[in-house]
Amino acid sequence: MLSMIKDGKSKLPMERVAPLAKALECEPTELTLLALEQFYEQPVVDTILATATKREVARELDVVATWAIVLAVEVGAALRDAKFARQYATSAAFRAEKLGNRLERIKVELNDLFVAARTPGALLKVK
pLDDT in tens, 18-76: 888 899 898 888 888 888 888 888 888 888 888 888 888 888 888 888 888 888 888 98
Does 126 score more than 60 pLDDT? no
3-class SS string, the chain: CHHHHHCCCCCCCHHHHHHHHHHHCCCHHHHHHHHHHHHCCHHHHHHHHHHHHHHHHHHHHHHHHHHHHHHHHHHHHHHHHHHHHHHHHHHHHHHHHHHHHHHHHHHHHHHHHHHHHHCCCCHHHCC
Q: Looking at the whole model, is its pTM more than 0.75? A: no
